[in-house]
Amino acid sequence: MRSVCVIMPALNEEDALPVALANKPEDIRVIVIDNGSTDDTSMIAKQNGAEVIAEPERGFGAACKAGLDAAGDAEIVVYMDADGTCLWGDLDSLIEPILRNEADIVLGNRPAELREPGSMPLHVALANRWLATLCNRIAQTTVSDIPPYRAIRRSSLLQLDLQDRSYGWPLEMVIRAGQSNLRVAERPVRYGIRTGTSKVTGTWSGTIKAASRMSQVLWSYRLWSYRLWSYRR
């Protein structure tokens, strides 16, 4: 039916995967990227109907790139977290604008009224809004969220040639899409409470690492944009 491949980077998500993979559509290919787990992530993913690809190089971006390569000839790739926060019922709203040729990338915007209470701490919501604001200034986009749930044409993503191998991958994707004049759209999606402890927001060290890497990505693209603007004057 639809040439869609869902990619789920996972690191030690044996408890969350049964929830994350429940109710997945039968006609959608799902690949779980095991990013060096030390638990039974791979086994649980297979038991719940997903393909598994191992990416031993630790890093969210490394796992996302491995999934992109493994997606083969899929027309659309969809990224979603493996922690149960993203809901399969919202998948169609992300891929339909691309199938109708109305957008090249669609972000699953998480408005407050669609977030399960407690799913997004205040400091995370504020940081996310700050990242979206800076992204808009750098890449001339109009996004309100830098979310984990997103769909994009595989050919477009390959052309963006993303370089980040860590937490900066999702932010770099939006910045590069805006700078490359791709049509970036948003659709509201629900957001649930994750199963297990988050590697990013669940610990201070994870939060600091993610914020640091995203700041580095923002700074590097801000310098690039400034140089391009100066050259064009």
pLDDT (tens digit per residue) in 3-46: 999 999 999 999 999 999 999 999 999 999 999 999 999 999 99
Q: What pLDDT sits at residue 212? A: 65
Residues facing residue 188 across a β-bridge: 109
Measured CA to CA, the distance from residue 145 to residue 204 in angstroms comes to 22
In this predicted structure, which of 132-146, 162-176, 189-203 has the lowest mean pLDDT?
A: 189-203
Q: What pLDDT sits at residue 226? A: 38
Measured CA to CA, the distance from residue 163 to residue 66 in angstroms comes to 12
Q: What pLDDT sits at residue 231? A: 35
Q: Say which amino acid occupies 94.
A: L
Q: What pLDDT sits at residue 197? A: 65
Is the per-residue pLDDT at 61 higher than 50? yes
Angle at 171 between CA 220 and CA 178, to 5 degrees: 85
Q: What pLDDT sits at residue 224? A: 44
pLDDT (tens digit per residue) in 214-225: 767 776 776 444
Tokens 């191998």, residue located: 165
Is the per-residue pLDDT at 155 higher than 70? yes
pLDDT (tens digit per residue) in 123-145: 888 888 888 998 998 999 999 99
Is the per-residue pLDDT at 208 higher than 90? no
H-state helical runs in 49-121: 60-70, 91-99
Is the per-residue pLDDT at 233 higher than 70? no
Measured CA to CA, the distance from residue 105 to residue 97 in angstroms comes to 9
Q: What pLDDT sits at residue 87? A: 97
pLDDT category of residue 108 using cuts at 50, 70 and 90: very high
